[in-house]
């Protein structure tokens, strides 16, 4: 019986450890900092972390289907209608990317595309959940315990 419980724990614990799609908060902070997002278009690093959290819970490989048949991809849940090509529906593809690239663990395509979105009109308001959960709130705790360099 003990062995059985232990075995189940070992298997499930390994599954959690092996789910590489969730990025650690401080690791993400460091990457975003290196890619010059701190202050980009006036949005401090905690805003980017809050955005990533409310959109994907830091799940790099998250894909969500929307009611209109489009999909949201990756850590910033970038939408296929305007920003990337998923070869399933018409897309403006403003970021000139395959949507699959927005699931890339190195995050560079997602960061590149997010910079483009935030540079346009509305800035981060393009993300409804950012407006609802991050805008106007105290956010500095997102960096608690993180070393950026
Ligand atoms: C991350 O997102 C993918 C795709 O949406 C999903 O299959 C996976 O279960 C998610 N991971 C976690 C830990 O929620």
Say what the pLDDT of residue 19 is. 66
Mean confidence (pLDDT) of the chain: 90
- Full domain range(s) for residue 93: 23-143
Q: Is 21 in the pocket of ligand 1 (CB under 6 A)?
A: yes
Q: Which residue has the higher pLDDT, 76 or 5?
A: 76
How many structural domains is the chain composed of? Answer: 1
Note the pLDDT tens digit of each residue in 114-142. Answer: 999 999 999 999 999 999 999 999 999 99
Task: Tell whether 70 is covered by a domain.
Answer: yes
Distance CA 58, CA 28 (A): 8
Q: Is 19 in the pocket of ligand 1 (CB under 6 A)?
A: yes
Alpha-helical regions (H) of the chain: 2-18, 25-34, 45-56, 108-119, 128-133
Indicate if 35 belongs to the active site. Answer: no
Task: Tell whether 18 is covered by a domain.
Answer: no
Q: List the residue whose alpha carbon is closest to atom 2 of ligand 1.
A: 62
Q: What is the pTM of this model?
A: 0.87
End-to-end CA distance of the chain: 48
């Amino acid at each position: 019986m003990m062995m059985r419980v232990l075995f189940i724990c070992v298997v499930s614990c390994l599954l959690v450890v092996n789910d590489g799609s969730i990025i650690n908060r401080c690791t993400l902070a460091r990457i975003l900092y290196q890619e010059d997002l701190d202050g980009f278009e006036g949005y401090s690093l905690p805003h980017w972390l809050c955005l990533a959290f409310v959109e994907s819970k830091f799940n790099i490989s998250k894909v969500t289907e929307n009611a209109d048949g489009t999909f949201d991809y990756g850590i910033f849940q970038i939408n296929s209608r305007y920003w990337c090509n998923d070869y399933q529906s018409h897309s403006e593809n403003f970021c000139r990317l395959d949507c699959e690239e927005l699931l890339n663990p190195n995050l560079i395509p997602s960061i590149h595309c997010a910079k483009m979105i935030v540079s346009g009109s509305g800035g981060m308001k393009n993300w409804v959940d950012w407006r609802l959960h991050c805008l106007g709130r105290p956010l500095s705790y997102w960096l608690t315990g993180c070393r950026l360099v």
